[in-house]
A = this chain, B = another copy of it.
Amino acid sequence: MSALLFRDLRLAFRAGGGFGLGLAFFLLVAVLVPLGVGPEPTTLAKIAPGILWVGALLACLLSLDRIFALDFEDGSLDLLATSPLPMEGAVAVKALAHWLVTGLPLTLLAPVLGLLLNLPAESYLWLILSLLAGTPALSMIGAFGAALTVGIKRGGLLLSLLVLPLYVPTLIFGAEVIKRGASGADAVTPLALLVAITAVSGALLPFAAAAAIRVNLR
């Protein structure tokens, strides 16, 4: 199990492994939005929490197809399925590796981008907390979507279509935490809900995803 985790991390950090590109994408969204929307600080401050969450979500989304598709294409997934590792565990480990490579760095980068978008000072703590609580759910839900589409060549966009509706609750609660936190309202309720989503998807989705992979390998 840990061998799989280390392999996935090592692959991510090797050339072409895509580490850092999720971050770059996040950065680009944060830069492009002011370019498109215009530079007024008050508008930007107002939309900053939402844009940061949407950006994090898209950055996560775009690296999802790497979770299983690479292993499927080169035959590793067949071999993993016939190996002694239980598929559920493999799915969970791969989602974890995905989070370590995208979600966690995104969380750490987000405050810097908050500066670019004029995020008010009170919000930073909540920004970090909400991303920390919510991004693992993004990785796990995404792994489920990736498992569904693993047999489909370049199913990247289909994957987005399947996964984004599933991301809606996470996104809403996540952005809500920041907004409420900044205005001094009750931010703990949405944060707790975010944690609950993460916990439940981490506990149940590996089974659904493993089933989907087995079907796809058939």
| Residue positions of A touching B, CB distance < 8 A | 16, 18, 21-22, 24-25, 28-29, 32-33, 35-38, 43, 46-47, 49-51, 53-54, 57-58, 62-63, 65-66, 69-70, 152-158, 160-161, 164, 167-168, 171-172, 175, 179
Contact = CB atoms under 8 A, between A and B. Distances in A.
Given A63-B157, A156-B65, A157-B18, A51 B28 contact: no
Nearest to A44: B47
Contact of A24 (B51, B160, B179): B160
B63 A155 contact: no
Contacts of A24: 157, 160-161
A29 B154 CA distance: 20
Contacts of A65: 154, 156
Q: Is the interface of A mostly helix, strand, loop or mixed?
A: helix
B32 A152 contact: no
B168 A35 contact: yes
Contact of A70 (B46, B54, B153): B153
A62 B154 contact: no
Contacts of A155: 16
Tallying the copies of this chain within the complex gives 2
A24 B50 CA distance: 20
Contacts of A51: 33, 36-37
15 contacts: A21-B160, A24-B160, A24-B161, A25-B160, A36-B50, A36-B54, A36-B172, A37-B47, A38-B46, A38-B50, A43-B46, A43-B47, A62-B157, A63-B157, A156-B156
Contacts of A32: 54, 57, 164, 167-168, 171
Given A36-B49, A69-B154, 13 more contacts: A16-B158, A22-B157, A24-B160, A24-B161, A25-B160, A25-B161, A28-B160, A35-B168, A35-B175, A36-B171, A36-B172, A37-B51, A65-B154
Contacts of A22: 157
